[in-house]
Amino acid sequence: MKKKSTNSKFRKYILWTGLWVISFFVVSCVDNEMQDTEPEWLGASIFDYLVTSGNFTNYVKLIEELDYKEVLSKTGSKTLFVATDSAFNEFYKNNTWGVTRYEELTLAQKKLILNFGMINDAYLVEMLSNYYNGGLAEGAAMRKQSAVSVVDSVPLVNGNELPETKYWDYYRDKQIYLLKDNTLRTIIFFTQKHLDQAQVTDDDFELVTGLSRKAKDAHVFGVKILKRDITCKNGYLNILESVLVPPSNMAEYVTSKNNMTLFSRLLERFSTPAYDQNNTLLYRQLNPDFSDSIFTKRYFAKEGPNGSYSGPPGKTVGAAMLLPFDPGWNSYARNAVGSALESDMAAMFVPNDAAMEKYFNSGAGAILKDRFKEWDSIPNEILPVLLKRHMRTSFIESVPSRFFKMVDVDNSPLPVKKEHIENVYIGSNGVVFETNEVYPPDDYSSVYSPVLLSANDVSPTRKTKIWDWAIAQNDFRLYLNSMVSRYSFFVPTDEYFQNYIDPVSFAQDSCAALKFWYNTRTNSVYATVYAYDRATNVVGSDSLAVITNVEFIKNRMLDMLNMNIVVDGVERGKSHYLTKGNVALKVKGSGEDMKIQGGANVMRNEEVNVTRAYNQLNGHTYFIDKLIQAPLQSVYSVLSKEESFRGFFDLLVGFPASSLSAIFVNKTNYFGIDFNVKFFNTFNYTVYVPTNQAVRSAIVKGEIVPWESLIESGDTIVKGINDLECLAEKNAAIENLERFLRYHFQDNSVFIDGQPLSYLYQSATMKKDEQPTHWGTFKNKFYRIGVAGSGDNLTLTTENNKKVNVDKSMGLYNIMTRDIVFNNRPSTFRNYDNSGSGATYISSRIYTSSTAVIHQVDDYLSYKTGLNPVRKK
């Protein structure tokens, strides 16, 4: 049989012109056919060399008994790593197999010793660090596949030796032929060339292998090569310091260690038997009397022998349950980043049982013990974040000299120190570092932690599966896990996810209230629809429909998430705090005595109560007994309904709909509950509304021209814009009015909330001249407003040094509003019960929103100086 070569066109030339040329090329075998003649200078075959040397009798026996004599006597292409008889004598004194002499070796053990030390290509030792990957990669290799056949050893495993999970229960009272992996085992080399290129230091090597090394030393795993590159006519021989016994892969090693049982049991929960058809058929061909089936142990993982593996048909797990790689995969390769098998291997930092117990009982893991009592009771859904934190896809990036800069897949620092390392094992697919510390994920200590843990809690009264689903669907996990910020995170538990007033339906004829619930069969969140009466604030008792559309529910959940997260604390003495979504929350009390209201909660005269408070590393998590609901009233809605705002409102709505100066709009990119403020831009604002008397004063003093003429006792005091005949005069008056009105709109929401305040804020009016102002605002910058207060009042100072106060006498202050932007006008969607015409209700989306707090002020705001009052004509 011919074997494909990575550089076959050079093969015959290399064989007959001298093996010394190989030092300039990476070569593999084209075929193993006997040549008719051989050059006289060519050395003995590998087999002949071992025989004539006289001190390799154990290896000669292996070769002869396993029918390899003919293969290793001919020309061909092999690299062998062998040990002398004296090394075997030491091996028989102490080995993990418990054999004391050659005759005690089983057939499978003999095959492993011979084939594991054999590569089916000819390599000089320093050339082992080269490989082809679309081109020659020099010094980049540290692994090669050995000649071990997967079916050299097929163990028959008793049911009581199998992992204690449901995936193995069928075989619990049976036996199973089980391969720990069905890919080729690899040999790992530490050569000078590769160590230099990978920047692995001698100290790194010593900590990993327990050996010191000198320049140019080469090792196979932790075994030193005493004599290298013995040239034979069919390859190279390398003499090792000791017998090379095939090591276990990382998973095998961890599960075999008596002091890693806790971590091992967690890891094994993610394993399952997979029927191996190919190796079953192959083994039957080799052993005609065999009629059973062979299985391979697989782990749920993103990277494995055949890519991602999520379980056998009908028993698959979700993406969140996948490990980063299969720890039992002998031929591990970083496929996700396009790296070849030869270039790297994996690493695992495995806490020993003492470390696991210390963490669980006295460390940060106490939250786990408090909730689940023991490691074995922790639900599977919580474990992947812990396990993957301890699994590294690159050994090279995990050597001790790089400990200080290691981060996990979420870019969170992994604080491993050299003094944490108790022991190191070099497996066939990676290195296992035994540690005396646990490295918990941020998920166990962040504000997200109570959600993750409670989502899988057995208690029906504090489950958070809905919120956990929403976090996963909207990719909020990393945000909530950030340790560079502090959060206050409000979490409605599952039983309180009801009476959500949907903003789209609120703007329609039929208004809906939604109750969200978690479907355990589909592992998704659904919503049941009920009628909501705006006038009576009553939610109907009859369910009218069930919404299963994931995108609809995901969209509403995203909106809720944004209004339930406050960056920083909410126990700082203020009464109002802004959320991530710019929604203001009214807060009183602290801890489990806290009460919260969003704008719609205020409108519905209800308070949200904290039922449980958690102090986390990056903030506080509060479980609550109702949904926090953002305002369902826009700036337009509030101003239009309050008579005390009438004068200001009439000025705002007087602009023609087609005018570029229009303040309120309801068109593409602005579709809202009614009309939105045109210049709001996904931020939070303050609107200062002068009293009706103050508006009249601004007109009389010549600050602005109203839309309609101001007439008293039959006399025209001020001619209105609509009555102006000169177009230039009319346009100038419109522009002036727009600038006047916009000066009453301020960036940033400012509340009367019990805290002193003194700050400058930008208005929505641009300065167009060089005229000096009180606040020194430059041309082409927005005019500013100074805001100061003692905590129970606000005083505004304008650009012309005018003082204006928030008028609390009518109670028209701290009014929370929200201008929501939908994907279309609510009227274009059918009602929640599918009545009406247009697009389906579930196709509606909340795109974004801006919020504003409204205060009535006792006078108008002005940035002008030197005005002349209007005289009665």
Q: Which residue has the tokens 């496929």?
A: 335
Q: Which residue has the tokens 């020099």?
A: 138
Short-list 235, 3, 247, 10, CA closest to 119:
235
Residue 313 corresponds to which tokens in the numbers above?
């048909």
pLDDT value, residue 866? 63
pLDDT at 641 over 60: yes
Short-list 492, 613, 515, 511, CA closest to 561:
492
Enumerate the domain spans of the chain: 9-148+184-246, 449-624, 635-857
CA gap 264, 383 in Å, rounded: 12
Query: How many CB atoms neighbour CB 366 within 10 A?
Result: 12
Fold of 635-857: FAS1 domain (2.30.180)
Q: pLDDT tens digit string along 606-636?
A: 999 999 999 999 999 999 999 999 999 999 9
pLDDT value, residue 458? 65
What is 9-148+184-246's CATH number, 3.40.50.2300, 3.40.50.740, 2.30.180.10, 3.40.47.10?
Answer: 2.30.180.10
pLDDT at 810 over 90: no
- Determine the number of helices (DSSP H) and then strands (DSSP E) in the chain: 24, 41
Under the banding of pLDDT at 50, 70 and 90, the label for residue 473 is: very high
Q: pLDDT tens digit string along 539-560?
A: 999 999 999 999 999 999 999 9
pLDDT at 41 over 70: no
Residue 251 corresponds to which tokens in the numbers above?
């998973």
pLDDT at 131 over 70: yes
Q: pLDDT tens digit string along 580-598?
A: 999 999 999 999 999 999 9
pLDDT value, residue 870? 45
Query: Lowest mean pLDDT: which of 5-19, 43-57, 315-329, 406-420?
Result: 5-19
Name the average pLDDT for the chain. Answer: 91
pLDDT value, residue 73? 93
pLDDT value, residue 40? 55
The second-level CATH assignment, the architecture, of 449-624 is: Roll (2.30)
Under the banding of pLDDT at 50, 70 and 90, the label for residue 460 is: low
CA gap 309, 248 in Å, rounded: 22
CA angle 451, 448, 621 (to 5 degrees): 80
pLDDT at 3 over 60: no
Query: How many CB atoms neighbour CB 503 within 10 A?
Result: 23
pLDDT value, residue 834? 84
Q: What percent of the chain has pLDDT over 90?
A: 84
DSSP of 196-245: HHHT--HHHHHHHHS----TT--EETTEEEEEEEEEETTEEEEEESS--P
Under the banding of pLDDT at 50, 70 and 90, the label for residue 684 is: very high
Q: In which element (H, E) is residue 261 found? A: helix 261-268
Segment 154-163 mean pLDDT: 94
CA gap 501, 513 in Å, rounded: 5
pLDDT value, residue 21? 37
Residue 246 corresponds to which tokens in the numbers above?
């095939």
Under the banding of pLDDT at 50, 70 and 90, the label for residue 287 is: very high
Q: What percent of the chain has pLDDT over 70?
A: 93
Q: pLDDT tens digit string along 352-408?
A: 999 999 999 986 788 889 889 999 999 999 999 999 999 999 999 999 999 999 999
pLDDT at 470 over 90: yes
pLDDT at 46 over 90: yes
pLDDT at 53 over 70: yes
b/e code 401-427 from CB counts within 10 Å (16+ = b): ebbeebebeeebebebeeebbbebbbb
pLDDT value, residue 713? 67
Under the banding of pLDDT at 50, 70 and 90, the label for residue 650 is: very high
Strands (E), 499-579: 500-501, 512-519, 524-533, 538-539, 545-547, 565-567, 576-578
**Phi and psi based region of residue 655 (left: phi greater than 0; alpha: psi -120 to 50; beta: remaining):** beta
Under the banding of pLDDT at 50, 70 and 90, the label for residue 867 is: low
Q: pLDDT tens digit string along 230-273?
A: 999 999 999 999 999 999 999 999 999 999 999 999 999 999 99
Under the banding of pLDDT at 50, 70 and 90, the label for residue 22 is: very low
Query: Lowest mean pLDDT: which of 326-340, 461-475, 561-575, 733-747?
Result: 326-340
pLDDT value, residue 9? 35
Which one has a higher pLDDT value, 658 or 530? 530
CA angle 867, 868, 869 (to 5 degrees): 115
Same fold, 449-624 and 635-857: yes
CA gap 155, 178 in Å, rounded: 6
pLDDT value, residue 76? 79
Residue 507 corresponds to which tokens in the numbers above?
């703007």
Q: Is 396 helix (H, G, I), strand (E, B) or coil?
A: helix
Under the banding of pLDDT at 50, 70 and 90, the label for residue 152 is: confident
Short-list 668, 651, 720, 697, CA closest to 828:
668
pLDDT at 31 over 70: no
Q: What is the dihedral of CA 518, 521, 526, 527, to 10 degrees?
A: -80
- Whole-angstrom CA distances from 262 to 258, 351, 377 are 9, 9, 12
pLDDT at 25 over 50: no
Query: Lowest mean pLDDT: which of 79-93, 288-302, 356-370, 584-598?
Result: 356-370
Which one has a higher pLDDT value, 30 or 544? 544
pLDDT at 6 over 50: no
Q: Enter the pTM of the model.
A: 0.84
CB 574 within 8 A of CB 591: no
CB 540 within 8 A of CB 529: no
Under the banding of pLDDT at 50, 70 and 90, the label for residue 668 is: confident
Q: pLDDT tens digit string along 405-433?
A: 999 999 999 999 999 999 999 999 999 99
CA gap 433, 416 in Å, rounded: 10
